[in-house]
Amino acid sequence: MNIADLLAPDAILPALKAQSKKQLLQELAARCHALTHISERRIFETLVERERLGTTGVGSGIAIPHGRMSEAKSIMGIFARVESPIDYEAVDSQPVDLVFMLLAPENAGADHLKALAKVSRLLRDKGICEKLRAASTAEAIYAILTGDKNGTGSAAA
């Protein structure tokens, strides 16, 4: 499983404006709805439900909100860089500015966990996070996330 399998080039939000965790999750749900046509409200509710179990703010300015939905056809991601870091109630209490949302089918099981692990490993790399924070375009962010020097999304991450 590669990041390019989870993330489409049009699923990058390079300068998301959000003042709160709730607003951030609403913006992610809106973009996800635009890409999948799944109910924006259902996506938002799924993400909020997961947050109630414990924060998906994993530390170092990174959050990986995720959830499973019967309406989802495949595992898909959305990456957002938040313009001004927000309080996300992260495990280290640090504000969040890099967010990789994952939405998986209800029956995704191990694949959902593999996708989470893949994203988590990628975003634990301090060098990659520095590049993501410095990148100025969605294309550059996509290339960093997918490990693709050419911007085609075909490289393994």
Q: What are the catalytic residues? A: 66
Distance CA 126, CA 65 (A): 20
